[in-house]
Structure 1
Amino acid sequence: MTTNQENTLILVNLGGPRTSKEIEVFLKDLFSDPFVFDLPLPEFFRIRLARFIAKKRAPKVQKTYESMGFGGGSPLVDETEKQGKILEKILTKTTGKTWKVKVAMACGYPNIRESEFTKPNANTFYLPLYPQFSRSTVLSTLAILETKFGECPVGSGGYIPHFGLDPKFHQITAQFIFEFFTNKLQKDLFLHYPEEIPNCDWKDLDLVFSAHGVPMRLIKKGDRYMEEVETSVSGITQELRKFGYRGEVHISYQSKVGPAKWTEPSSIQKITELANKGKHVAVYPISFVSDHLETLEEIGEQFKELCLVSGGKSFVRIPALGIYEPFLTFLAERVLEADQSIHHCICKERGGESLNHCRFK
């Protein structure tokens, strides 16, 4: 980054339909991805099945999106764009250079496959917003970029690796949770800011870190996602203890689709178990950094109802980090470090396989 050329940062997220018209396209992109919809089937049949499922699920999913109050779509793209605008200011101010931050989605729009998202290099950086590595998120994104550019971005100088194992991320997340419970967050910066407060000392409640689940088939292929979630939760818990938190911590997995075995325990199982014991429950979305369908609807509505109906004394949804300034400052620091520390194949190490055009083979 020694030239006066404008620097471009591309924030990559999984995606979400911005309107009801985009739902089926989003689902087709999602289920067509072999790293997401991973089945032991011939590719031509897997693709046909993926498109069939997307078309069949679209009407049901549409009703859920309509209930959220965001015009029939997901707020994920808008929330990611908010993060991008603030990151743009932080990077420009920190470096004294011009930065442009763009948003790209692996599924739906604006689609990462479009020509405006150019090859990573010394002035163009890709930052996937997935804290933990998974074949279904990070490896999937890298595979898309490899197909587009003919090389894996890891080690190119323009790729920022996932950040969920970073001790600084653990400290910032713990600080965020502490500020949430002590009413120090600026409420209008968050979507559907939770009005509920635990009717107990927050330091004693049961804290569930809910991560997006993945099929166990991916774990058996070498995906170290569960291990990374556990490392993130362990680090955050250690930092929370410094703020006086003394309650029990739990890890669970949400958003299962289909009959296959997924990561466990499920969040439904864990929350029901705690509620049956009459616990005060709080849920934090450990694998998400922006609020959307899984946090606002699944955690904020479905899990809340489940907890209270099953005997829980109280339930609180903790927001995702969103535009929390210490978090975005942390991401800016990661961008400026780029991937200078990467000298090996993180895809093989964390996901179980290298891509075809890995520069470290």
Structure 2
Amino acid sequence: MKGALLINLGSPNSTSVKDVRNYLDEFLMDEYVIDKPYIFRALLVKGIILNTRPKKSAAAYKKIWWDEGSPLIVLSERLHEKVKKQVDIPVELAMRYGKPSLKSGIQKLVDQGVTEIYLVPLYPQFAMASTETILALADKLVKKYFPQVTLNDLPAFYNRPDYIEALSESIQKSLDTAKPEHLLFSYHGLPERHIRKSDVTKSHCKLDGSCCNTPSPAHEFCYRHQCYETTKLVAEKLNLKEDFYSVSFQSRLGRDPWIKPYTDFVIDDLAKDGLKNLAVVTPAFVSDCLETLEEIGMEAKASFIENGGEEFTAIPCLNEDEKWIKTLSNWINTWAEK
């Protein structure tokens, strides 16, 4: 019997400093997120980051927390409920970090008689710190606890026409309302070393400005290429002029070089250059979360206005968009019918 498991990033259980610390501990100690030797990672995370960051992060979560709980969890649950109604096999929801855990999601499917699971990472673009860590943990859990289960997974869907259509239509709605002078595609950032580590050719990803545009097998797992490809396909779909949009990367951590350009720098420069009306979309996420609601919707907006901007629109993620729900459901149904 087949079943599907929707998997998102996760969230603290509450906005308390303790819960945020526990969440950050699980998240940052993941070897696919901070890909350093265990001792170094433990010294950095437990010795430094967890002594300073939880209080600041808890304050940020408080700004965006809903009465029902974490926006990311609530939106993921709503998505799950709507997808369930449109598919013909059992579907459950899990988070890579926090609750509901990946193990509990697999267990719920097994309890319904499922022996073949379709893993659906809710990340359009592939990255070590998102898709790969989900697949690695799921494989580990199945081998240890569920040996009767086989796994399949949905590949990165950054360039699938039905996804691009859903994303483009959702963006167009905001553009029609806000009528911005410029549209910024802001993707979650990654350390440059993650891009090189994911390069199956071990030589293509030079981050020199041209490698993402030069055809290569490396692109199957290249996050940066996939972000630019998503942008290009949306721009083509919406007939956007080249000078109307640009790409940047947000959410840096630590001192190592991350992929550029940096969103905060780009937004400030646009304002200083006289831009008055800016819209920002965040297509690395399918559900609004801390990085979209607080980092972009609050912090980036305040900085844009401080530097001379006037109108700022944070375009919502796909969330519960009907076309997105139908698209996701179709993918699951197509797999189930094989």
Tell me the TM-score normalised to structure 2 length: 0.82
2:83 alignment partner AA = L
State how far apart, in whole Å, the 2-side matches of 1:117 and 1:57 are.
Answer: 34
1:182 to 166, 176, 187: 176
Query: Are 2:60 and 1:64 equivalent residues in the alignment?
Result: yes
Counterparts of 1:283-322 in structure 2, within 5 Å, are 283-322=280-319
Residue type matched to 1:19 in 2? S
Matches within 5 A, 1:157-236: 158-182=152-176, 197=178, 201-202=179-180, 205-221=181-197, 222=199, 224-236=222-234
Q: 1:219-243, CA deviations, whole angstroms, 9 ceiling, x for partnerless residues?
A: 12125100000111000000011xx
1:71 Cα deviation after fit: 5.7
Distance 1:275 1:303 in 2: 11
**2:107 aligned partner:** 116
Report the RMSD for the aligned CA atoms in angstroms.
Answer: 2.6
How far 1:123 sits from its partner (Å)? 4.8
Distance, in Å, in 1 between the alignment partners of 2:99 and 2:64 is 19
Contact 2:91–2:109 under 8 Å retained in 1: no
Find the counterpart in structure 2 of residue 149 from structure 1.
142
Q: Is the 8 A contact 1:12 1:129 kept in 2?
A: yes
Say whether the 8 Å CA contact 1:157–1:338 is kept in structure 2: no
Q: Does 1:266 align with 2:262?
A: yes
Partner of 2:14: 19
Q: Specify the alignment match of 1:82 in structure 2.
A: 78
Distance 2:333 2:318 in 1: 21
Distance in 1, Cα, partners of 2:31 & 2:51: 18
Distance 2:311 2:96 in 1: 37
The unaligned stretches of length 5 or more in structure 1 are 92-96, 184-196, 342-361
Give CA-to-partner distance per residue, 1:123-171, whole Å, 9 cap, x none.
53221100100011001111111211239xxxx5632222112122112
Cα 1:23/1:320, change in 2 over 3 Å: same
**Closer, same or farther: CA 88–339 of 1 in aligned 2, 3 Å:** closer
Q: Report the structure, 1 or 2, having the larger helix content.
A: 2
> Contact 1:208/1:284 (CA < 8 Å) preserved in 2?
yes
Extract unaligned runs of 5+ from structure 2.
145-149, 200-220
Q: Which of 236, 248, 252 is matched with 1:252 structurally?
A: 248
1:128 is matched with: 121
Match of 2:237 among 233, 239, 246: 239
In structure 2, what is the Cα distance between the partners aligned to 1:310 and 1:11?
40
Cα distance in 1 between the residues matched to 2:95 and 2:64: 21
Distance in 1, Cα, partners of 2:53 & 2:103: 24
> In the TM superposition, what is the alpha-carbon distance from 1:72 to its structure 2 partner?
11
Q: Which moved more, 1:103-112 or 1:245-254?
A: 245-254
Separation of aligned partners in 1, 2:44 and 2:300: 30
How far the C-alpha of 1:90 sits from its partner, in A, is 1.5
Number of aligned positions between the proteins: 305
Please tell me whether the aligned partners of residues 17 and 73 of structure 1 are also in contact (alpha carbons under 8 angstroms): no
- Residue 332 (str. 1) matches residue 329 (str. 2): yes
**Distance in 1 between the 2:313 and 2:194 partners?**
31
- Tell me, in whole angstroms, the C-alpha distance in 2 between the residues paired with 1:340 and 1:90: 14
Tell me, yes or no, if the aligned pair for 1:158 and 1:338 is still in contact at 8 Å: no
